[in-house]
Structure 1
Amino acid sequence: MNLSTQISPISISNFFVNKAISEGVELTPMKLLKLVYLAHGWHLGLNNATPLISEAVQAWKFGPVINSVYHDFKSFKDSQITSLGFDPTTLTYPILSDTQKTPLLLKVWDVYKNWTGLELSALTHEDGSPWDTVWNKQGGKNKQGAIIPNDLIADYYMKKSGKSNG
């Protein structure tokens, strides 16, 4: 795994925050978490490549969570996010470079921007989803911060895209 090609989840979050603010689209912490997760999932499934984000996805009671994104934006609760996230590892409010603003991220935004956080949550909780597999079938509910493996996420989104593993 080449960490240099992975992106800080806060950078991806800030991409979605900027899009929401500029387009006047509702963006709550729950919706943001799901958008970052979906971008990561579709990246893995379509590209069968290095993970998009530099942090593991965890299975929590209410779905897949990227810990840094949750903690950075939880103060907004159920309200509109109005400011960028801060990355304590770089001491910045990271923004994606033009080369990192991939067509995939733009597509994820265009497809899911009008979904609510609850609708996206239901989508990520579907039977057989990576979260469902780890949380309900592999005992993740009995472990705090159970990791959803990237290969499980990749396989799921690869199947959803119609691609095969072989």
Structure 2
Amino acid sequence: MKLIKLVYIAHGWYLGITDKALIDENPEAWKYGPVIPSLYHQYKSYGNAPIEKHNGTSALDNNEDEKFLDRIWEVYGKYNGIELSAKTHQEDSPWSRVWNTIKNNDFFSLQIPEIFIKEHYKSLLKQNQRKKAV
């Protein structure tokens, strides 16, 4: 769960800062939060156990992306999956906006529009900039 939440958060901040997607897959709103389906299926066998081996290759294009991801880890890596879920489940978050429209329907999941994620993280970026200015 922690890995999926970290990737989702990194993707959100990347969209908010650069207007570009970090990953090439739309996260989906599942009952327990935003999920990147391919990542979930790749690592679901681990459950809550630590992931001991990496099954993919790095897709980092440049040093700036690596620094960006290091910063995400520095800020969010200290949180466990439940704490990260609390951050992604906040009222008016992209996940909650989508989930609240489908929770009473028969859908299992629904894609979270990229624009919802981008707007949310741009808003968080502005809030952080205002705090630093004070």
TM-score, length of structure 2 as denominator length = 0.86
Flag structure 2 segments of 5+ consecutive residues without an equivalent.
128-134
Greater relative CO (CA pairs within 8 A, separation 6+): 2
- For residues 109 and 64 of structure 1, the distance between their equivalents in structure 2, rounded to whole angstroms, comes to 18
| Length, aligned pairs only | 125
Aligned counterpart in structure 1 of residue 77 of structure 2, from 91, 99, 113: 113
1:78 aligned onto 2:41? no
1:87-98 correspondence runs (5 A): 93-97=56-60
- For residues 140 and 44 of structure 1, the distance between their equivalents in structure 2, rounded to whole angstroms, comes to 26
1:104 is matched with which residue?
A: 68
- For residues 88 and 102 of structure 2, the distance between their equivalents in structure 1, rounded to whole angstroms, comes to 17
Contact 1:57 1:66 in 2 (8 A): yes
- For residues 116 and 75 of structure 1, the distance between their equivalents in structure 2, rounded to whole angstroms, comes to 18
1:8-157 correspondence runs (5 A): 30-47=1-18, 49-85=19-55, 93-97=56-60, 99=62, 101-136=65-100, 138-139=101-102, 142=105, 143-157=107-121
Flag structure 1 segments of 5+ consecutive residues without an equivalent.
1-29, 86-92
Structure 1 residue matching 2:34: 3-state secondary structure: strand
**CA-atom RMSD, angstroms?**
1.6
Structure 2 residue matching 1:64: 3-state secondary structure: strand
- For residues 39 and 69 of structure 2, the distance between their equivalents in structure 1, rounded to whole angstroms, comes to 16
**Sequence identity percentage:** 42
TM-score, length of structure 1 as denominator length = 0.70
Contact 1:34 1:121 in 2 (8 A): yes
- For residues 57 and 98 of structure 1, the distance between their equivalents in structure 2, rounded to whole angstroms, comes to 21
